[in-house]
Structure 1
Amino acid sequence: MEESSSKKFSALKAEQTKAEAELADSDALHRKIQY
């Protein structure tokens, strides 16, 4: 039980990190276009 919830948390954390990285990439892209 604990292991499964731990895996879920890890997957959630990975998704969040990926989303943040993509957001940063798109933000950098917009800045590049602006300037």
Structure 2
Amino acid sequence: MSISELEIKWLNFVRRLRVVGVLLIFVIIPFLGFV
């Protein structure tokens, strides 16, 4: 596996992790505000 492939997989993983984190924040903050 070349380094470029590893970098692409890592960037995709980081991007997905960031999207999930933002969604969790948007779900948790209104939930805490509601409770």
- Runs of at least 4 residues of structure 1 off by over 2 A? 32-35
Residue ranges of structure 2 left out of the alignment (5+ in a row)? none
- Matched residue SS, 2:25: helix
- Identical-pair percentage: 9
* RMSD between superposed Cα atoms in Å: 1.5
**Which TM-score applies when normalising by structure 1?**
0.77
**Which TM-score applies when normalising by structure 2?**
0.77
Partner of 1:31: 31
**Cα deviations across residues 7-33 of structure 1 (Å, max 9, x unaligned)?**
000000000000000000000123234
